[in-house]
Each structure stands twice: as structure tokens, then as C-alpha cells.
Amino acid sequence: MPRPRRSEVFEEDTVGIYHCVNRCVRRAFLCGFDAATGTSYAHRKDWIRDRLETLAAIFAIDVIGYAVLDNHLHVVLRNRPDMERSWSDQEVARRWWRLFPRRREKDGRPAEPTPQELRMLTSDRKKLKELRQRLSHISWFMRCLAENIARRVNKEEKNSGRFWAGRYKMSRILDETALLAVAIYVDLNPIRAGIATTPETSRYTSAYDRIHAERSSRRSGSRCSSLSQESTRDDRWLSPIPLEDGQPKRQSAPRHRASNLGFLPLTTDQYLSLLDWTGRQVRRDKRGSIPAELAPILERMQIVEEQWLETVLDFGRTFRTAAGRLESLVAEAARRGRHWLHGIRVSRRQFAQH
């Protein structure tokens, strides 16, 4: 069955959350160690993480989670057309210049645009409207991520041609129940792949950044003057976890990310505790029962406790283009003019119905 058009999955003018997966082509690894050639490409994981951080500060898109593996990457993104519509024309022009500068400094960073250069971008009203829409579009975010990395790889290898698969995979996350599952699924990908044993050692994931940023924050309050590179990992470019009242904090625009809006009705500690327990079950032969202090989280999120691990482990295979509770999937199928969507049967079993 052919993959549906991304325009069928993605709603450009509506705030939504999407799980995107991009895989590389060619025989060579994306970022890992290629045993066939004896070459390590581990440094490219830093390229991808740094590029994600750069794009998070430019686009009207919240980066909820990510994981970079040897031959593919996962990102969970929330488009924010409401943020993009609040920007002035000058703000749109400045952000687009940062993406595609016509001048650069000696170190490669975009040079500061002159007033005349900004006027050139804002004078064409039709073009400016198009640029504004692009800055909240998931496909443009993924394009600016993939093209930058592909060019760096081709330059490093003195090669040319396609590096990424032709189309990245996109699925829409319909409710908080599915969002918790996909966030855990993405953060645990390196553990499932055997690259790491615990979230705090799973580098190049959003969980790793959050854990070590929290440790750094706690240590900074003490008299400890020197911190390791791991403990000073920055997570300010990621969307915060706690949703709180569901409204963005009204303060000056963040420098590192699109907004300060969280994405789950959980504290950071609650999320990381559930992530840690789930990761330990994934890595051992015998599965234990959900701890008493974590069970209420699943109940609140309308997830069947006995099915939690299966929900996380099989998330990528179960939900192809949309994920959520039964009623959410039924509504999404109706929006697309379909009678059903892949995953409806599993959703009925794994998510509590109210």
C-alpha cells in the first residue's frame, strides 16, 4: 500500500504534533561505526544535534523530542502557525536570513543583515507571505535539517548524490496518550538498539539532554566549579515537558526555541521516572510490574497498564500515519475521508476507552 501524501497527514494552518523518521541511503552508516570499512562516523551525530538546535531557534516549530541512531533519526515536532502569525515582517525576514544568509562571517556564521538587505526580503509581500508559512511548516524544517547534513557529508566524503531516503516518514500524534507513548518510544530507541543501557547514557536523545541539564542545574547551586561535558548538556532549545495550564508563558520570545509551551500534563521528574523504569524493562529478560508511584500516570493518561510496554515497543509498527486513542483515530479517519486508519484495532486494546 503506497504511503499517503504528507499533505493528507499534515495540517499547515493548525497546531499539531508529528513524529518524523528519516533514514539514510547508501551502504555507509549515517553516524555510527561501519565495520566493513573500519570508519567511524560518530561525529555526525553532533552535526545533527547542533543543526536541530539551530533550527529550533529559527522556526515556529517546537522540538519535543529526538533520537539520532546509526542509520536513521527520529524527531517529534509541533508546528506553531499561531506563533508565526504573531511575528512582524522584520522578524520573518531576520529568521529567513539566518536560514539562507547571502553573506557569512569568516567562521561560517550568518553575517548580520543590513537594513537594505532586510528591506529586500520584506518588500515583496507575496514572497514574504510564502516565507512566513515556510517557517512553521514541518517539511521545510526537515528539508533544512536534511540538506545541511547531506552537504556536509558529501563534502567530507568528496562525494555527490543522495544521502537521505527520498521521503521521510510522518505520522500525526492525535492526543496526549499517544504523545506520551511516542516521546518514550523515541527516547528509548538507542536502548532498544543496544547502543545504550539507560537513558542517562543514551547520548543524542532528548532524554539525555534533559537528564544532564537537570543535573547541571542542581550542581550549579553547589560549590562545584568544574562540570563534565555531559553534565553541562543544554536542553533550553527543547520544548519543556510540563504543560501546566496549557498556555504559553507570556514573556519575551525565547532565544533558543519557538515557545515555552510544554506538551504533557506531567512534571519532568514524573516523565523521567517512567522513562527510566520502561527502559530497564526493555533491557532485561523478565518484566516487572509497574511501580505503584508510576501506575497513576498511566491511568491519568488513559493507557492500559498491562499493555504499556507493548505500546512503546511496537509504536513504530502499530501506528503508521496517525496515533491516538480510538476516538481520536476515528475522528482523524473522518477528516481524511477514510473509513479507518492503521492502528485502530490495537488502539482499542492498548488505550483505555472512556
Compute the distance between CA of residue 327 and CA of residue 332 in angstroms, rounded to an integer.
Answer: 9
pLDDT for 252 equals 47
Burial level of 139, CB count in 10 A (0-12/13-18/19+)? Answer: middle
Does residue 17 carry a pLDDT above 80? yes
Domain spans, the chain = 11-87+135-350
pTM: 0.91
pLDDT for 267 equals 94
Q: Which residues contact 242 (CB under 8 A, 6 or more apart)?
A: 262, 264, 265, 266, 267, 268
pLDDT for 3 equals 63
Compute the distance between CA of residue 10 and CA of residue 138 in angstroms, rounded to an integer.
Answer: 8
Compute the distance between CA of residue 294 and CA of residue 292 in angstroms, rounded to an integer.
Answer: 5
pLDDT for 159 equals 81
> Which residue type sits at 18?
Y
pLDDT for 226 equals 43
Find the angle CA(278)-CA(280)-CA(286) to the nearest 5 degrees: 100
Q: How is residue 231 written as a grid cell?
A: 553534565
Does residue 354 carry a pLDDT above 80? no
Is residue 9 within 8 Å of 172, Cβ to Cβ?
yes
pLDDT for 246 equals 45
pLDDT for 232 equals 54
Does residue 220 carry a pLDDT above 90? no
Q: How is residue 44 written as a grid cell?
A: 555526525
- Across 224-233, 317-326, 333-342, least confident range: 224-233
- Across 175-184, 247-256, 334-343, least confident range: 247-256
Does residue 248 carry a pLDDT above 50? no
CATH match of 11-87+135-350 with 3.30.200.20? no
Element of type H or E holding 213: helix 206-220
